[in-house]
Amino acid sequence: MGTETATIEVTITGSSGQNKRHAKIPPSVRASELVDRLLPSMGLPRHDLDSRPLVYRLRNNRTGRQLAGGDVVTESVRESDTLEIMNDITPG
C-alpha cells in the first residue's frame, strides 16, 4: 500500500499585499526552500544594490507567526492560509 503525499494550497503575498500568488506546497518543503522557489515568480531580488544577499522570511497571516528557514511549512500552515514573504531587514 502506497502513501500519497498531498499538497496544500495557500496564498502568497509580498509585503503590503502586492504580488498575490496561489501556490501548492508539498508536505516536506522547508520555509527557506519555498522562499527560494518563490523569489523569481514574485519578481523579488536576491541581492541589494551593493550585491549583498537579501534574506526573506515567511509570515503566516492567520497565526502571526514567522516561519524559521528550517521549519517544514506544512507543519505550521493550513489549507487556504495566506503567507507573506518579507525582506528581513537588519539595521546597520
The pTM score is 0.83
Domains identified in the chain and CATH numbers: 8-87 (3.10.20.90)
- At 89, the pLDDT band (50, 70, 90 cuts) reads confident
Rg, Å, the chain Cα set:
14
Nearest to 38 by CA among 85, 73, 76: 85
Amino acid letter, 24: K
Give the cell for residue 2.
502506497
Distance in angstroms (rounded) separating the CA atoms of residues 14 and 83: 9
Q: Is 43 left (phi over 0), alpha (psi -120 to 50) or beta?
A: left
What is the tens place of the pLDDT at every residue in 22-64? 999 998 999 999 999 999 988 889 998 999 999 999 999 999 9
